[in-house]
Structure 1
């Protein structure tokens, strides 16, 4: 240590956290002013008999008081210097590793319903995406749907279950505009790889390569550090497009060969098993951690403030005297400040409020995500996640609670996620444990009725590719704005009974369930038994359909008219 301090390079000496200097100086000035104007009162001496004072009170010296005050200021000053992070040397550490991103771009044009690939191109593509994600490519992945417009269906995530849950309901009728616009697709994908250090991966699943410009693709690859995998879902013989009997969609072999000649482009071959996507997942996961040079090291400045702990400890040895209690508090604060790794999550209120109380405060303020992170109890954590709309996290939390209330909430969460069979099973368990739970019985009836309605849907209503309305809804004249446009409703209007939605999407129907009481306090008293969501979700595809149309309406997403409407 002495050798290190002895050879300080004063030309390189500086502080790592100079932005906090003024706070420390202000604190030292406050201490000095406090000591300067502090006057000791001696009125207590009058309570002692005059003739006994010489024997009870020992006369002290002024220099001891001054020494104590100077030592407090000295300790505070040393601690401040340590906190500012004095440094004069550097150390080499391994270069930072960066993660790669993976984009799945799925063609949602009408020609993807062609049946030359069984059962049709789109369904086979969804099977392949499912197998790919099951093989765990380990990269942050998002799902982009494109036709005459491009939309992000699922943002970047490592929780592939979120993407898998959306795959089944994807149909071309969801897209606001037909056609296949590669220009808009690559304009949107280009925003994902701005200044990316790791090589990004793009999987392009399409059946129409005619409109894919070689010049456009070459420029995109030159501007971005990415590798493009093209997965053609079409045969050379092709087949008629449903709804466009006179139009035949087939694979353009010449165009495919031209694309294969480009650098950073790889053509995938469709196989009957999952070996193709399994190899792709391995290729992505093998390069998920990317470095230009494995032997490259970054030079970082070394924080030498922790050496000042030793003089602080030395002064502390002389602090075991009356009136020095404040020094112990200062020492504890300095020890925490001088540590190499500063706890950035620590806040001043942590000194006064427990995490549980802070979680309840966040919940009362409707900051449900923050409350969920702070709650330790699975029930409270799950309710907070549920109120925040994060139903997957709520499911994880409720699974850890084996009480009747925990099972009840888990059943609601499964219903919200659209897993009706699982929800039915959980509600039946609740009724077995608590036969008097009327809420569980009511919701079980709603779930079973919904499942029966799904079975009663006519086959022609499930036909793929027909140009017909996606839902036959009774017009809702309520002022509520389901599109997010922000329409206001009067209190009187909001108190009206909501019109029941009888949306038939070929997936399931949504029916109203009971509602979580507004006066619910998750941290006060026993949890009520009627913790219940607002309603069972409609088909997730219906939500994406409304979302995409809303984006077009508000000008958030561009559209392009292509040569082919399919």
Structure 2
């Protein structure tokens, strides 16, 4: 979170507790003032002798036990007032803003002044960003003289990589530099998202003719400049968007990730339905450090120690670690979840809904499905549906999304995901039908065995025929047996899309 956004969001959930602070300060002042006692008349004594003969005179200036007590009570009052600056994260919403990455696939991006080339370095930066934003919805758009959606919104970064590698100026049907057209496609993709998103351009130049249209957009926008540091571009320099220069390390990617999430954080703060996250536990750490002073000789304040231990050691408290003194297992799991340590969060959570979602985010789909069977809510069924889709058990995914709609007909995204899952099942059935037809025609197709329902689904089995042996192939491996490369596929698709647009414009 940026400092201006932090200052804007910071407030106290229980501000009446702040009224205790003036009372604490008054009591501290009265006690501190009286600790010195009354000193005898020292008139007529030389200053250096008076200082040596006066007992306790210098001690009034030192840090005293009452000072530590005062600080402890002030920290306690601040904690009781409930400081906060963020909303509790919604476990059923992406924790990063949806984003559309727009890559310029122009001839100028083939320049090698940034090794190995501007385009290849841009692809590398996009892969790094996808790794950093793992689990966030991301779409990919490519443009030159025309703009094309390479991939719609997806959370699976493994799907993006082969398509990203297939992009080159040779696959683009029309040479040029139409960034504004690419921005229009990005706006369309983000319009279907429930959370506010942002656009990232990875390019070495912007045509000045596109600047006005891009500056008029309301979408949060950032640009990764693929030009050597210190060089200028008239279009990039005229953009209102934040332009980040490419760096040899990951500093540029971290900065871009922060920029892309700024809009999401602001929208999250404005969501009145989501409760504020109480940050009182953060003040427990400095308060605990103050307790260490009370073990020094002359600093013992017995009633304070007893009170502190009474607070920190309730009868049912666990003693597995210092964190257990202040945080419940679910709170510790929430902290790990916010740091994207999803596997550790799953080990910490007790709540089955949160634990199931953490397992899902860590890629443990089967375990997530099992844990979420304990929860009879639409949210749990929705996560189960997503886990089934990720593990490619598509029919079970269809059933889960149907369950979501039974429990809550208006649950966001359930109807759309149900239709998507049904289309996937229909596609797999269509592929099997085509394979069966090929076998009947004597093309040489081997026996195909799909998932455990009616022979269609995730896996294929090739017990004989051409190949390197028998065994099970995953759906990805089976698709990879198609001879057409990703670049050839994109080239044909982009040419078809460009031709359809030209025909439409001419009509």
If the length of structure 2 is used for normalisation, what is the TM-score?
A: 0.43
**Relative contact order: is structure 1 or structure 2 higher (C-alpha 8 Å, sep ≥ 6)?**
1
Greater share of helix: 2
Name which one, 1 or 2, has greater alpha-carbon Rg. Answer: 1
If the length of structure 1 is used for normalisation, what is the TM-score?
A: 0.39
